[in-house]
Amino acid sequence: MNNTIESEHIADVFSIDYEGRGVAKIKGKTVFIHGALPTERVSLVIEKERKHFSEARVIKVLQPSVERVFPKCCHFDTCGGCVLQHATLKAQVAYKQRILEEQLEKIGGVKPDEFLPPIYGLEWGYRNRVRFSVSENEQGVFSLGFKEKYSHSVVDIKGCDILPASVSDILPELKFVLQKLVKINGKVNYVECFFGERLTVLNVCMQNILNKSAQELLKRFSDGLNQAGSRLWQIWVKHNKDQAYPVDTDSQLSLDYTLPEYDVIMPYLPGDFTQVNMQMNALMVNRALSLIQAEKEDRIADLFCGLGNFTIPMAKSGAQIIGMEGADYLVQRASKNAFLNQCSNVEFKQADLFKTDRKTIADWGRFDKMLLDPPRNGAYAVVKSLHAPYLPRRIVYVSCNPATLARDAGVLVDKGYCFKSAGVMNMFAQTAHVEAIALFELY
């Protein structure tokens, strides 16, 4: 059932959901309200009636929350990204903590002994990795920006405050160059931006192989960016599923980020998975390593290890670390990063961790500790397959989805683990995305 209707109501908002929508009840039925915050009274219009809930949007805020602020971005009402800009940073983090608590209780039936103090991070200008959508309509109007709320349309933007200023400021010029590029080389699928320590890379994904005129256009754009500012830029091009490559092949610089507390430098390539917020990433690594308490005599597994973001700093303890990752190119990159950082006590292996079973766990042998950092669908196969005598005595679980963390936490508690602590880290300020960390210890 998905009937679209419009009827006006007044409601008191008592909570917020994982998509950043206010939650209210109208005649006993749950209503999710776009643009509403907890403690507010709002006038709303119901846009969709479903069997068990309704979807609505705010017409007018009758009694605003003390945490309501005016959204900084002029695209707040249309862009699908920063849905919590109308709340203070303090309130955003509190909402995310509440979402984590509710998901743990409702889905996993669990509660930690302690909730860790939240980590707030930067409010604006934090995003080091981003993908821009590109579109051109039938009238030839070209747009560069982000997807509209609940739509495939592209919101055309001239700047974005969650990006570093040097990236946001070049968006009008980038749009102008992309318009030319489309005319001489065909469709642009999307553009990625990677903001490293010393270098910013724009990766342009094309429908067609780059021709000479297009290559010259991008080279001039790159040269102009490097002449105009103190920051170094590269333009890369990717043709569908082919490997991305730099337009200026003479450049010797590469993307990287650092974890200074561990004397670690992490090179990466455009397209590699990295956290979107490097400042928060460093704080997250610190918290994860303080929870896992790696010691020299430990054998530790880092599952879904990627480039070695946790693995390599953890190896500085002297423990024996095994990093496992599904993508072979990331395994190769992580091995190179370990060598670069002089970590000889690390081994990286390719493994499809979503197909883990009891035999897989036994083949790995016993680990003293385990760190999990899975994608949004979680680490269910891994936690479900853990069994004696191969149960690590301590597990640290980093999650970008509190629902799957809650599910997996319930499994671990059923296996005899004590749920010691959990907390949120504001990796994605202004958005409703929740990054969390949890600690489990074997009784």
Are the C-beta atoms of 443 and 416 separated by less than 8 Å?
A: yes
Band of the pLDDT at 37, cuts 50, 70, 90? Answer: very high
pLDDT in tens, 189-241: 999 999 999 899 999 999 999 999 999 999 999 999 998 877 899 999 999 87
Band of the pLDDT at 380, cuts 50, 70, 90? Answer: very high
pLDDT in tens, 128-145: 999 999 998 888 889 999
pLDDT in tens, 389-422: 999 999 999 999 999 999 999 999 999 999 999 9
**Average pLDDT of the residues in 436-442:** 98
Distance CA 429, CA 292 (A): 26
Distance CA 316, CA 304 (A): 19
From 193, 205, 305, 400, active-site residue? 400
C-alpha dihedral, 204 to 208 to 210 to 216, nearest 10°? -70
Whole-prediction pTM: 0.94
Lowest-pLDDT range of 1-10, 173-182, 247-256: 1-10
C-alpha dihedral, 437 to 108 to 150 to 165, nearest 10°? -10
Instruction: Quickly list DSSP for 43-70.
Output: EEEEEEE-SSEEEEEEEEEEE--TTB--
Q: What is the pLDDT of residue 394?
A: 98
Q: Annotated binding site, which residues? A: 275, 304, 325, 373
Q: In 22-159, which ranges are E strands? A: 22-26, 29-34, 41-49, 53-63, 114-115, 129-136, 142-147, 154-156
Distance CA 400, CA 190 (A): 24
Q: What is the pLDDT of residue 420?
A: 98
Under DSSP, the state recorded for 260 is: G
Of 368, 329, 376, the closest CA to residue 348 belongs to 329
**3-class state of residue 281 by DSSP:** helix
Instruction: Quickly list DSSP for 320-371.
Output: EEEEEES-HHHHHHHHHHHHHTT-TTEEEEE--GGG--HHHHHHH---SEEE
Q: Could you tell me what percent of the chain has a pLDDT over 70?
A: 98
Residue 305 is among the residues annotated as catalytic for this protein: no
How many residues are listed for the chain in this entry? 443
Question: What is the average pLDDT score of the chain?
Answer: 94
Q: What is the CA radius of gyration of the chain?
A: 24
- Is residue 1 scored above 50 in pLDDT? no
Q: What is the pLDDT of residue 3?
A: 54
**Average pLDDT of the residues in 258-283:** 95
pLDDT in tens, 275-285: 999 999 999 99
**Average pLDDT of the residues in 14-21:** 94
Q: What is the pLDDT of residue 6?
A: 62
**Average pLDDT of the residues in 248-266:** 88
Q: Annotated binding site for S-adenosyl-L-methionine, which residues? A: 275, 304, 325, 373
Lowest-pLDDT range of 37-41, 93-97, 140-144: 140-144
